[in-house]
Amino acid sequence: MPAGTPNGRTFRVRGRGVAKGNGQKGDLLATIEVQVPPMLNDEAQQALRTFTDVAHQSNPRADLLASNR
């Protein structure tokens, strides 16, 4: 799922759904539902800070930007 996908978006995955009467597979529809807890305890807040620090150390798009210059 792409980063920044909004809550409620539906994705279609062609050929991965239930088989039709003719034996071909239909499409799978997946709707994104994100539930955010209203409050985080201290341990969860620290884990989120650690994840944020690690995630900002790498840029998966750096190679894409460099190759377009």
At 49-68, the pLDDT tens digits run 898 888 777 666 666 666 65
Which alpha helices (H) appear in 1-69, and where do they start and end?
42-55, 62-67
Please check the confidence at residue 32 and state whether its pLDDT lies above 70.
yes
Question: For the whole prediction, is pTM greater than 0.75?
Answer: no
pLDDT at 60: 64
> Which tokens go with 50?
């650690």
